Amino acid sequence: MSRESVFESTLEFFLAPLREFLEDNTVTEIMVNGYQEVYVERGGKLYETEARFESEDALISAITNIAQYVGREIDHDRPILDARLPSGSRVHAVIPPSSRTGTYLTIRKFNRDIFSLEDFVRLGSISAEAKEFLELCVRMKKNIVVAGGTGTGKTTMLNAVSTAVPENERIVVIEDSSELKLAQKHSLYLEAQQADSYGRGGVTIRDLFRASLRMRPDRIIVGEVRGGEALDMVQSMISGHTGSLTTVHATSPRDALVRLETLSLMSDVDIPIYVARAQVASAINVIVQLSRFADDGSRRVTRVAEAFGLGPNNEYQFHDIFASRMRGRSESGELISELEFTGQQPTFASEPYEQGLEGDISHTLPVWQNPEP
């Protein structure tokens, strides 16, 4: 019996109170607020359940077992854990004294199937035109940021956008806790590691990013930028490693760029603010903005914007290529919206023809500018 099989069996035992939700495909997130209170998310809405752990110790034991599975530790000195289940579902735990009213455990479930952009079109989260635009941007090696708030589906969208990367490219994926599952065979996965109680053995996203540059990558995908690694990523984008993909917490395209700028300044490299801003402006080409609507729980792409440098006042310049237009509600109360072309062509509108990709254009002819008379 393999080590992983042993952990899967023990985790099934420790997480028994949550088993029905872990097996329920309609549940997307499980939230344990202390051992006597469990909520789940279905269809973007929260529901309280009757599930309970036997005691605080039982909940702590489950979290400790998860930590052992991924080779990490959670204790009084390190009360926060980011990990994953064997299924790939993301786990976040906080224990006392950092959590004041008990132990908190959040499990964001991972779908084993790889969603493509076509699946998002079918679900109504993106239009066929925006899908084709993003696929062409990936083929043209534009640097793309998927932005959105918590729970908007940034990682799932990033994974879907990555399906447009050609099969013959070498892709390096860097994550704090592994979630992405690419369709391409030649994909390498790097995962950050927590230091031990003596501060030894820690491997950060920045460490992995620097290592990835020596691995002859055609593409670098960073699951999420949260700190000073943003500077390394931005500098690699402007020094030849184009076609990178990442996600960032932000509620608008402008906020996404400001967030990357702020994170770059968190690096141990002392650079002026205007330099960080100029590098971010040069590096990022396209922002995919995701939003979650509380009214019906839906998650959708609301904007696809192009970023194109700095303006006269040293402010980020960008314009929407696609924007969501609300059309009302269906009889069942669901929001009706369409992601439509704004009429604004990107500054790289002639590139598909210059790169021989005109054969891939069918839905987006108005977006591009054919250089031929």
**pLDDT, tens digit (0-9, with 9 covering 90-100), for 49-58:** 999 999 999 9
Q: Which of 78, 108, 138 is where one domain is finished? A: 108
Residue pair 195/150 in contact by the 8 Å Cβ criterion: no
Portion of the chain with pLDDT greater than 90, in percent: 62
Residue pair 324/287 in contact by the 8 Å Cβ criterion: no
* Same domain as 174, residue 80: no
**Which CATH number goes with the domain that contains 169?**
3.40.50.300
Residue 139 lies in a domain: yes
Question: What are the phi and psi torsion angles at 171 (to 5°)?
Answer: -115, 130
Q: Which of 58, 90, 108 is where one domain is finished? A: 108
Q: What is the pLDDT of residues 217-256, one digit of tens each?
A: 999 999 888 888 899 899 999 988 899 999 999 999 999 9
* Same domain as 239, residue 140: yes
Instruction: Find, among 289, 299, 338, 250, the residue nearest to 44 by Cα.
Output: 299
* Same domain as 162, residue 138: yes
Residue 352 lies in a domain: yes
Residue 133 lies in a domain: yes
Tokens 């702020």 sit on residue: 262
Question: What are the phi and psi torsion angles at 165 (to 5°)?
Answer: -70, 130
Residue 332 binned pLDDT confidence (cut-offs 50, 70, 90): low
* Same domain as 175, residue 80: no
* Same domain as 45, residue 102: yes
Query: Measured between alpha carbons, how far is 288 from 295 in angstroms, rounded to an integer?
Result: 22
Q: Does position 111 have pLDDT exceeding 90, yes or no?
A: no
**Which CATH number goes with the domain that contains 51?**
3.30.450.90
Q: Is the dihedral of CA 9, 11, 14, 17 positive or negative?
A: negative
Query: Would you state the pLDDT for residue 215?
Result: 93
Q: Is the dihedral of CA 147, 148, 150, 153 positive or negative?
A: negative
Please indicate whether residue 3 or residue 358 has the higher confidence score (pLDDT): 358
Residue 52 lies in a domain: yes
The SS3 call for residue 143 is coil
Tokens 């990682």 sit on residue: 155
Query: Would you state the pLDDT for residue 296?
Result: 65
Enclosing H/E stretch for 352: helix 351-354
* Same domain as 136, residue 209: yes
Residue pair 201/167 in contact by the 8 Å Cβ criterion: no
Per the structure, the complete domain to which residue 62 belongs is given by: 3-108
* Same domain as 250, residue 125: yes
Q: Does position 360 have pLDDT exceeding 70, yes or no?
A: yes
Q: Does position 373 have pLDDT exceeding 60, yes or no?
A: no
Q: Which of 91, 108, 125 is where one domain is finished? A: 108
The SS3 call for residue 98 is coil
Burial (Cβ within 10 Å: 0-12, 13-18, ≥19) of residue 68: middle
Total tally of structural domains belonging to the chain: 2
The SS3 call for residue 319 is strand
* Same domain as 225, residue 202: yes
Beta strand 245-249 with 144-148 is parallel
Q: What is the pLDDT of residues 30-72, one digit of tens each?
A: 999 999 999 999 887 899 999 999 999 999 999 999 998 888 8
**What mean pLDDT, rounded, does the chain reach?**
89
Q: Does position 25 have pLDDT exceeding 80, yes or no?
A: yes
Q: What is the pLDDT of residues 147-174, one digit of tens each?
A: 999 888 899 999 999 999 999 999 999 9
Q: Does position 94 have pLDDT exceeding 90, yes or no?
A: yes
The length of the chain in residues reads 373
Residue 61 lies in a domain: yes
Q: What is the mean pLDDT of residues 107-120?
A: 82
Residue 372 lies in a domain: no
Query: Measured between alpha carbons, how far is 50 from 202 in angstroms, rounded to an integer?
Result: 39
* Same domain as 171, residue 53: no
Residue 373 lies in a domain: no
Query: Would you state the pLDDT for residue 284?
Result: 97
Per DSSP, 99 falls in state S
* Same domain as 343, residue 207: yes
Query: Would you state the pLDDT for residue 328?
Result: 66
* Same domain as 174, residue 26: no
Residue 293 lies in a domain: yes
* Same domain as 168, residue 58: no
Query: Would you state the pLDDT for residue 221?
Result: 94
Residue pair 234/228 in contact by the 8 Å Cβ criterion: no
Beta strand 286-292 with 299-310 is antiparallel
